[in-house]
Structure 1
């Protein structure tokens, strides 16, 4: 039906999510923002810089990034002895990583009620202190985490179809091995989240790119 000339109806604007890079720890919950998960929020993860460039191209040039409490990757990489050291170092290093990669550092996710951070991000830590209960690894394929699940470690694979196979292996496989060790299990089942703003076709391409490096 044609609208009258004086109608106040305007086309619906598509509002895209504000994407935020976090650790893939199962305790990280983002209440406002769309989560893109990388172990340690990308700290000392080989290939992360190249992935950020791809994410800015396919999702948003203004990506956010947050640090979070009790990060096992940071603890291992920096050979730290207690969580107080880990928490302080993660904030410092993720803030510096944001500067290096041209990301917006939103702040720090604690074990409290959801906290409003900078750049329209809100979240907190929800797993028990010093305990990991995830029993699966979830790969996001269509534009970040759509539904939070405390039983899932998260890995963003929203970018892999745009990357060389060598980069996919370099970034994805160390994360998988780290979470297997963290869970103290010989293996962790994989699940795939295909929903999101990138659409089904892109998600299918990302899933195929993962299969090409043995993730299926």
Structure 2
């Protein structure tokens, strides 16, 4: 199984590889560097990472004025992040037909340009995204039972807040996807952590 760290933007569609979603593919996400070793323990050392077109998080973090700058910066910064965290940089998902990238990763952007249509946040707890849904921003919580609660709260809350602001500054309903390679027991432990920290009812 090929696991790929990618943005949780609802437009990111992975045709080959399983998405572990972190806003901006983890770029400048506080706590991400502490999460990577946990992900490697769970999913193996050969984790991939991919950049994607029209990344609002990267645009905001770098205070960029247009998408051309953002798209160029996303590739550059995510590749640098891959080097820093010893991840395999696969390339860049554009708005186009599915694109075959390096390291057995294939995908593209499928939402409308410059528009967000997601109306929920989906936490994956069983081993990354299993079923693509254009209505979901995705956040990987496949690691949370193995991490300190303070780190979990920080990393997840930042993402929840960002996606909520992106679509109108109102809390988005949160759902959970429990299937995946990790199996029922581990998925349940991750889900319980989310419930304990108030991310799920």
- What's the TM-score bracket when you normalise by the shorter of the two chains? over 0.9
Q: Which runs of 5+ in 2 are unaligned?
A: none
| Aligned position for 2:104 | 120
Q: Which runs of 5+ in 1 are unaligned?
A: 1-16
| Aligned position for 1:52 | 36
SS at match of 2:152: helix
Aligned runs of 1:8-87 on 2, under 5 Å?
17-87=1-71
Q: Take 1:181 and 1:189, find their aligned partners in 2: how far apart are those partners? A: 13
Q: Give the TM-score of the pair, scaled to structure 2.
A: 0.98
Max radius of gyration: which structure? 1
Moved over 2 A (4+): none
| Aligned position for 2:135 | 151
Q: Take 1:49 and 1:156, find their aligned partners in 2: how far apart are those partners? A: 15
1:185: Cα distance to partner? 4.5
Q: Take 2:189 and 2:59, find their aligned partners in 1: how far apart are those partners? A: 34
Q: CA RMSD in A?
A: 0.6
| Aligned position for 2:84 | 100
SS at match of 1:20: strand
Aligned runs of 1:193-204 on 2, under 5 Å?
193-204=177-188
Q: Give the TM-score of the pair, scaled to structure 1.
A: 0.92
